[in-house]
Chains A and B, each alone.
Chain A
Amino acid sequence: MTLEELQAQCARVPFFRFIDFTITNADDDAIFASMEQSNRHIGNPVIGAFHGGITASFMEAIASVSVSRNWDILLPKPINLTIDYLRPALAGTLFTKATISKKGRRMASIETVAWQEDAKKPVAKGLFHFLLV
């Protein structure tokens, strides 16, 4: 699937349009995406930080895209998620990368990381399990 096709598939999901991200790269191992902060993303207006739920939703969206792309399932069923919040995600752009940790027949385990200016200083990491059957 090309980047344009992936993006078009995402545009069909209302909640993905609401969080509003762009898929920037997709190779065999990982999917990359970016999201510009807008008002509706803010969780802490005092410091203008992204809401933790938006950071989590962004990572979950890209994790599910990596599943759909590899297994050809439009909307894989999410089972659970764990988010490790490492730093505040401030105004600007949030980037994420989703990597497949385990590619089973029934389950997929996806690892994500999100960062801002410096990829070496992640703002959050995520672990997502999806049911494929």
Chain B
Amino acid sequence: MDQNDSTKARMAQIASVWNARALGLISEMDLKVEKAEAGGVEVRMPFNPDFCVDDEGTMLHGGILTALLDSAFGLANFLAIDNVATMATVDLRVEYLRPAQSRADVIVSAECYRQTRHVAFNSGRVWFDTPGLPEVARGFASFSIIRGETSMLDKLNTMGPGS
């Protein structure tokens, strides 16, 4: 395996452990990691009527887009930064550019565009998987990064379902 392949394999491994959590909001959102690179991630969330503002399911609530951005930022940081033991969102800003009126899957792209020893800076965009539909939200975040040999993802990996 050349270095490029091993990097890809490591990225895929991180993304899969991150997504295969035994419990929690990430599994409720039923996310599919479509791109997992140090330079950025793309994650797909299927339409879910539980996340809507109305029983007819015509519009998603903004809160789920905020949760999606926060999640994607976390994954982007795990991929972009070496030796992350754990991290915490310090600050999150979301702009709701237009009503999230669609039943299409939601795509979020997120990147860590700057990292220092203790801080990661993130930006992201959210849109529906429908050609021609403009983006519905943008987000920015700063994370506190705690570096160490044992990653939170390693702990998740050994927890197993329901533990």
Contact = CB atoms under 8 A, between A and B. Distances in A.
Contacts of B90: 84-85
Interface stretch (A41-49, A90-98, A113-121): A41-49
Contacts of B55: 12, 14
Interface in B47-95: 49-55, 57, 60-64, 66-71, 86, 88-95
Interface in A1-51: 12-19, 39-46, 51
B67 A53 contact: yes
A101 interface: no
A56 B26 contact: no
A43 B72 CA distance: 12
A54 interface: yes
A111 interface: no
Contact of B50 (A18, A46, A52, A57): A18
B66 A60 contact: yes
A83 interface: yes
Contacts of B70: 43, 51-53, 56
B156 interface: yes
Contacts of B24: 39-43, 45, 51
Interface residues of A, number: 35
A79 B95 CA distance: 6
A129 to B, nearest CB: 9
Interface string B93-131: 111100100000000000000000000000000000000
Contact of A53 (B60, B68, B159): B68
Contact of B51 (A14, A43, A84, A85): A14
Interface of B: 21-26, 28, 49-55, 57, 60-64, 66-71, 86, 88-96, 99, 152, 155-156, 159
Interface of A: 12-19, 39-46, 51-54, 56-57, 60-61, 75, 77-85, 88
Given A40-B24, A77-B96, 10 more contacts: A14-B53, A14-B57, A15-B60, A15-B64, A16-B61, A18-B50, A45-B21, A52-B67, A57-B63, A83-B66
11 contacts: A15-B53, A15-B60, A43-B25, A45-B22, A53-B67, A53-B71, A56-B63, A56-B70, A84-B90, A84-B91, A85-B89
